[in-house]
């Protein structure tokens, strides 16, 4: 399929023109991709929904090995390729697969001591047709991330237009409440993370639709993705910077992180 892998696209590429495509961000350790089959499966699912031919396993599988030694992030972008004017898709499409390898350093301090997050003003629009996909239409995330500059604020929590919690700007959200793990449903908006998928297969995690008030009942709150691992949230501020909630880090709450870090090859974080 597609043209040879290339790192530039022309003005008529539909990924650029309309965000008509998908992406993945994959942790690669010494040439071995983590959660690789889940990343490929999510791209396939997205390609099916967008009506895009998907790259072959052979084409994808050769990429992580080019990373060499050390910790890298492999970014993949799959676009529908060049098209004429207008929204009608070219047929047959000649998709473009682009990739980039970058050095990556995780943040152990955030694993250990946790992070401060804030609530974003922006509400995610509800669009079931695109919910869960890692597609290239990410202006909502960009706008939400532009709401703060404070480097002490590690992430921003997002609700949808009906007020239900969804995710953070680039991470999924989990909490422990009433003796169980919960995470927001992602059938109306948000990105279904590969780490989230893997955790849900290993642990019983309930998908729920609830507003921020549920966090008052949470004993601990976590954010995570397949590159950074899992960060405990120790403080949530509102959009004006006023304290909403604090959480104490306890040894027994680290279970989710332990599993996540095993999946990603990150160290088990010392229990404090």
| Site residues for a second copy per CB under 8 A | 7-20, 23, 25, 50-51, 73, 75, 77, 79, 85-89, 98-100, 102, 122, 124-127, 129-130, 135-146, 161, 169-170, 189
What are the C-alpha distances in Å from 83 to residues 3, 97, 104? Answer: 14, 15, 34
Give CA–CA dist 251/271, Å, rounded: 5
**CB of 97 vs a second copy, minimal distance in Å:** 10
**CB of 160 vs a second copy, minimal distance in Å:** 9
For the chain, the first-to-last Cα distance in angstroms comes to: 51
Q: Which residues neighbour 110 within 8 Å (Cβ) at sequence distance 6 or greater?
A: 154, 228, 231
Residue 46 in 3-state DSSP? helix
**CB of 4 vs a second copy, minimal distance in Å:** 14
Cis-peptide into 22, omega within 30 deg: no
**CB of 239 vs a second copy, minimal distance in Å:** 13
Q: 189 vs 205, which CB is nearer to a second copy?
A: 189
Q: 220 vs 223, which CB is nearer to a second copy?
A: 223
Q: Which residues neighbour 85 within 8 Å (Cβ) at sequence distance 6 or greater?
A: none
- Extended strands (E) in 87-192: 96-103, 115-124, 153-160, 165-168, 172-177, 180-184
Q: 87 vs 178, which CB is nearer to a second copy?
A: 87
DSSP code for 66: G
Of 114, 129, 137, give the one whose Cα is nearest residue 222. 114
Cβ contact 95:2 at 8 Å: yes
Q: 58 vs 88, which CB is nearer to a second copy?
A: 88
**CB of 143 vs a second copy, minimal distance in Å:** 6
Q: 37 vs 146, which CB is nearer to a second copy?
A: 146
Q: 56 vs 127, which CB is nearer to a second copy?
A: 127
**CB of 179 vs a second copy, minimal distance in Å:** 34
């Amino acid at each position: 399929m597609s043209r040879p892998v290339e790192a530039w696209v022309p003005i008529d590429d539909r990924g650029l023109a309309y965000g008509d495509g998908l992406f993945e961000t994959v942790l690669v350790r010494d040439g071995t991709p983590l959660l690789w089959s889940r990343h490929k499966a999510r791209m396939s699912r997205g390609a099916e929904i967008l009506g895009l031919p998907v790259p072959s396993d052979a084409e994808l599988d050769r990429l992580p090995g080019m990373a060499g030694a050390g910790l890298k992030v492999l970014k993949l972008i799959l676009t529908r390729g060049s098209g004429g004017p207008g929204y009608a898709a070219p047929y047959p499409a000649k998709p473009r697969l682009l990739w980039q390898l970058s050095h990556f350093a995780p943040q152990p301090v955030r694993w250990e001591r946790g992070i401060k997050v804030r609530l974003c003003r922006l509400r995610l629009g509800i669009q079931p047709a695109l919910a869960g996909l890692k597609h290239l239409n990410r202006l909502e995330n960009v706008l939400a991330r532009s709401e703060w500059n404070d480097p002490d604020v590690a992430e921003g929590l997002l609700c949808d237009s009906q007020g239900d919690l969804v995710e953070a700007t680039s991470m999924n959200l989990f909490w422990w409440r009433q003796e169980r793990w919960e995470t927001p449903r992602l059938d109306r908006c948000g990105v279904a993370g590969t780490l989230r998928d893997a955790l849900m297969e290993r642990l019983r995690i309930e998908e729920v639709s609830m507003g921020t008030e549920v966090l008052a009942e949470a004993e601990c709150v976590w954010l995570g993705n397949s590159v950074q691992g899992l960060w405990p949230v120790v403080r949530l501020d509102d959009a004006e910077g006023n304290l909403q909630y604090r959480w104490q880090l306890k040894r027994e709450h680290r279970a989710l992180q332990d599993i996540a870090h095993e999946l990603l090859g990150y160290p088990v974080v010392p229990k404090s």
